[in-house]
Chains A and B, each alone.
Chain A
């Protein structure tokens, strides 16, 4: 059974870099594509980006160049970095498996999410 577990610092200061890790079990990260989605408190889901198994990445234009997504095949993990965070980046961050065989892609398995708060 596929399981995804996000981890990372729960509290950041403005201007710092958010670094999250998603540990995958039950499958190899090599075999699939992976994505990140976030949800601000009481608000809708917001797509952050995804990385294909070919390591090609796509990210939300609204986040400009602040987003970096990578895969560590040795640790079977996916990573997200978001630079220059502000209070507007406070959210629950989810990693998810991407079904890349469809267009557009969709997310068929999700982690439980991790809350990240940005505050001075």
Chain B
């Protein structure tokens, strides 16, 4: 079982970036999103598909549709350039999985 993400997404500042994550168990399991900048630890930006932790800007949002979850960053800023990883689990909900990561480039 895998979580599949596009390797890269590019957007211009101010535009909307969408990062997708696909997996067969996603209709039954929550998905989470992490932002990782070079040399830093991952930072949780979305939990339970669409909830935003305290301190995360409102421009970060999450949604789900069938076997695909989407991280949307509205009004992208240069500081949003990072790798983004989705996380969920297999159908048991016990064994954690990470997607392969998507490099967001702000042009």
Contact = CB atoms under 8 A, between A and B. Distances in A.
Contacts, number: 66
Interface residues of B, number: 26
Contacts of A60: 95-96
A110 B43 contact: yes
B9 interface: no
**Contact-size category for A:** 20 to 34
Given A44-B99, A44-B100, A44-B101, A104 B41 contact: no
Chain A residues touching B, majority SS = strand
Interface string B72-107: 000000000000010111000111111111000000
Interface of A: 35, 37, 44-47, 50, 58, 60-61, 94, 99, 102-108, 110-113
Given A50-B96, A102-B30, A110-B41, 5 more contacts: A44-B99, A44-B100, A45-B34, A47-B96, A104-B30
